[in-house]
Structure 1
Amino acid sequence: MMRFLQGLGAAVVALLAVLPAIAGAQNISASTLYLEQTETQFSLNIPNDTSGDVFIYFTSPAYSWVGVGFGEEMKNSLMFIMYPSQNGNNVTVSTRIANGHSEPSHYADANLEILSGTGIDDEMFVLKAVCHNCRVWHNGFIDVKNTAHPMIYAFGPGNALQSNSLNAPLKRHVRYGKFTMDMEAARGTGGVPAATSAANGVELQGGMRRDHDRANLAHAVIGCLAIFVLWPLNVIIAGFFRNIKIHVGMSVSILVFLIIAFALGISTSYEYNRSKSFTSGHQILAFIALLPILAISLLPLRPLSALSPLIPRLHTCLVTLTLVTLTITGGLGLHLSSQSRPIIIAYAAVSLVVVCFSTLLQTCIKRRGSAYARHTTRQRLGEEDEQDLVLAAFYANRKLEGGESRSESEASLRPTAGVAGAGHERSPSAGSAKNIYGGGTMPGPQYLLNMHPGVPVHRW
């Protein structure tokens, strides 16, 4: 019985010791943001003393990252950003500042002290912290007397980010919003605010907005269209179309697509810390790819192509080199943008198919000769096209039906020299047609003589 009374007394003493702390926590002044859609709470306490500290209670679903900032916009705002640690069992909290509408960088001058109770609990980020030297920063400060201090919040995409680095790369936010916070309501006895679902001293500025990274998406889509659709189609056109203008037009279209993709890629590079300096493999290889693209564009020019017969032969090699370089560049771009493994594997498979198809087709075209090259070769050797011969015979028959004498039409179709042989005269009379097999319009023994169809062949 005595042991029971002693244990009961100890429990009462412990409870009496905890009650003041609980009462103090409940009496801590705080301004609180609470978003019902995500059950996100951000509470702020500003002590009345001269320490300059700021106490924070911050909880939100464990997305890839979530952040709250002091300011009207991202530029020059001091932000508190949370994301999972490397092992996924704890939370990494990074104080950051952005110099524009871009990924914020770690702000090392803020001294954030993480307190007990911080971590990931039931798939929710929980932050209990006191920030020393956080009321003033470069180009910004917390106005502790402002009853409507501008604030911002944002949520990252759903894919997981796990890192212990305070400057870990962040993907663009998918949802964001603005609100104002009453700093007078947050002033009082210093301490971490309690968890609550009731907003206090906060007014939302519109609803939660959805964000789209359209420029980055357009950069990827336009680049893939140029490489995986227009490029192999242009190889087919070069091999099987006699009209070189179609090939030139498609080549110009590919060049325009690539220029647009390059421009979009450069513009989006300034939005992320990992690409601002243009030192990633994706960016370096993209600039290297400009050299063979420029060479392909300039080599067909007559002043250059006339310098050496070897110059036109470089075209196929440069095309293959450019295609391989661009496909590798795209793969490095997916890695730079932190895309998922299935997307990278699918890209690699499509790239392998396109490169193999284009290389095989170019090899066949090189051995056989393109349709344009074969056509120009026949014209240079003075050979006539079979279609032109058929049309000539057709118009000759039309003339015969229109009343023209047969002898005149035969004379027009008859070669001027070297057909009947030396020393044999031809009679212009109508009876000479009997000496021509097929009347000069149907194929005959000329195939044996390696002559063109439709050419009159005489009997001796």
Structure 2
Amino acid sequence: MRPVHASYISSDKTWKDVRRAWVAMLEMTGLLEPCMAFRGFALATIGLVATAHAQVSTQCQGDVCYSLSIPQTSSSSNIRDIYFRIAAPKDYQWVALGQGSEMDGAQMFVMYQSANGQNVTVSPRNGEGHNTPEYNGNSQLTLLEGSGVLADKMVANVRCSNCSSWRGGNMDFSSSAASWIYANKFGYPIQSDDLNAGIQQHGNAYGTWSWDFATARGSNSVNPFLETSVITPTVINNSKSRNTVLVAHGVMASLAFLVVFPIGGILVRVANFSGLVWVHAGLQMLAWLIYLVAFCMGVWLATNTDDIKKAHPVIGIALFLVLLVQPVLGWMHHKMFKEKRTRTAWSWTHIGIGRLAILVGMINGGLGLQLAGDTEKKHVVPYAIVGLVFGLAYIGAIVWGELKRRRNRPNAEYKRQGNELHNMN
């Protein structure tokens, strides 16, 4: 079994500077070569987990791993094949590996699930500034055995026959190291066979590192990844847990705004029984608590994917802040209505905020599905159907309730004036 080099990629500039200083110090003192035997310990002290071996080098950022193998012929002549591997949980929309020190001018390889969800598509692309990378039809890539959606992972074993140069750059595989970049986008899978499929912008999961070619050089295998047992470092932030949070957030927020909030609003308009106001209050508080949990999960997701400034989370935060005061407004509305027997400013504020929040919350759920990248619309259709049914029922109840209130107002006013005249006599 071939040994493997595995390490974390650190996107934090401070740790990169510390690592460079550490390596420079060892080189100046002549201790670099002796310390290579203890590389795992040395790099672990500066934020990386490493095990140095030959033939295959694997770098991991979280639960996404990139591997590289450079045949001896390529490292000598720099014109032959090189092999790379991308492996990530299938809960990612896409995962990319790139040659270069930055996005602009880089040659990138974007992996996403194929249309049937069983295989993977690897799309070669060129970076142009900070725009969406464009498909590069000149890349000579071959997807090798062992690629596909295996259990819960997407795996692409790739042979590249012209990775030494591309439009905008080149890479010398006979050198000691070169700069590479990585990026990914978590969310609903793209599932497309189109090499030019549209991809959403990555979150904060991107960075660059210098790949030490010495740890990847020497294999003569036509598919080194089948002969290598790749060691993946243990990670804390597993994408399965993120996907669970994403699903739970969507389900709970939808339950609150599509079902429980509207039912509470409908009942208080169309029903008429003793204790109705407390049933209304109980349902709205239940919906509020459900949304509180969904909100906390949403904030966690948005801050971990760099989406906090986008429309869906911004609206979600605004709804949360507005709904914080609804219980107080509702209590004051109830209290003042009992005293005045008519709506007051408390009433109009409570009713207006409630109606607007429910309708905006329904719309914001659709924006959430869009942000999550549900390009196949597999969740949009059921969400739209449920939202349409409860939304129309809620609006209908509002209209019916207001018409009923206007019809009853003259009778109520007549009774009130009669009572006042009776008390004066």
Distance 1:331 1:203, change over 3 A: closer
**Equivalent of 1:117 in 140, 145, 156:** 140
CA RMSD of aligned residues (A): 5.9
User: Residue 45 of structure 1 aligns with which residue?
Assistant: 70
Separation (CA, whole Å) in 2 of partners of 1:241 and 1:270: 45
User: Residue 393 of structure 2 aligns with which residue?
Assistant: 357
**Which amino acid in the other structure matches residue 83 of structure 2?**
Y
Matched, 1:266 2:299: yes
User: Residue 240 of structure 2 aligns with which residue?
Assistant: 211
**Equivalent of 2:290 in 257, 267, 275:** 257
The range that moved more, 246-255 or 361-370, is 361-370
**1:241 positional shift:** 3.6
Instruction: State the SS of the aligned residue for 1:211.
Output: helix
Look at both structures and tell me which one has the larger radius of gyration over its CA atoms.
Answer: 1
- What are the within-5 Å matches in structure 2 for residues 12-411 of structure 1? 30-31=55-56, 42-45=67-70, 56-58=82-84, 65=94, 82-83=110-111, 91-92=122-123, 117-118=140-141, 126-128=158-160, 129-130=163-164, 132=171, 135=177, 159-160=190-191, 168-169=200-201, 186-188=216-218, 194-196=222-224, 198-200=226-228, 202-203=230-231, 211-212=240-241, 213-239=243-269, 240-243=272-275, 244-273=277-306, 275-276=307-308, 278-279=309-310, 281-290=311-320, 292-294=322-324, 296-300=326-330, 301=332, 309-339=344-374, 340-368=376-404
User: Residue 43 of structure 2 aligns with which residue?
Assistant: none
Instruction: State the SS of the aligned residue for 2:354.
Output: helix
**Which amino acid in the other structure matches residue 274 of structure 2?**
R
**Which amino acid in the other structure matches residue 58 of structure 1?**
F
User: Residue 402 of structure 1 aligns with which residue?
Assistant: none
Structure 1 unaligned residues grouped into runs of 5+? 1-28, 34-39, 70-79, 97-105, 141-152, 174-181, 384-460
**1:246 positional shift:** 2.6
Give deviations 1:256-304, integer Å, cap 9, x for gaps.
222221111110012324x14x23x212322343465356434332698
**1:355 positional shift:** 1.1
Give deviations 1:128-161, integer Å, cap 9, x for gaps.
23584994779x9xxxxxxxxxxxx999975426
Instruction: State the SS of the aligned residue for 1:289.
Output: helix
* Contact 2:144 2:223 survives alignment (8 Å): no
**Which amino acid in the other structure matches residue 57 of structure 1?**
Y
Instruction: State the SS of the aligned residue for 1:160.
Output: coil
**1:338 positional shift:** 0.6
Separation (CA, whole Å) in 2 of partners of 1:60 and 1:330: 33
Q: How many residues align?
A: 296
Separation (CA, whole Å) in 2 of partners of 1:231 and 1:154: 32
Structure 2 unaligned residues grouped into runs of 5+? 1-53, 59-64, 99-107, 114-119, 149-155, 165-169, 206-211, 420-425
The share of aligned pairs that are identical, in percent, is 18
Distance 1:261 1:214, change over 3 A: same
**1:107 positional shift:** 11
Instruction: State the SS of the aligned residue for 1:57.
Output: strand
**1:92 positional shift:** 3.6
* Contact 2:109 2:124 survives alignment (8 Å): yes
**1:332 positional shift:** 0.4
User: Residue 457 of structure 1 aligns with which residue?
Assistant: none
Distance 1:205 1:322, change over 3 A: closer
Distance 1:93 1:356, change over 3 A: same
**Which amino acid in the other structure matches residue 235 of structure 1?**
G
* Contact 2:253 2:290 survives alignment (8 Å): yes
User: Residue 16 of structure 2 aligns with which residue?
Assistant: none
Give deviations 1:425-456, integer Å, cap 9, x for gaps.
xxxxxxxxxxxxxxxxxxxxxxxxxxxxxxxx
Greater RCO (Cα-Cα under 8 Å, separation 6 or more): 2
* Contact 2:266 2:393 survives alignment (8 Å): no
Separation (CA, whole Å) in 1 of partners of 2:198 and 2:82: 18
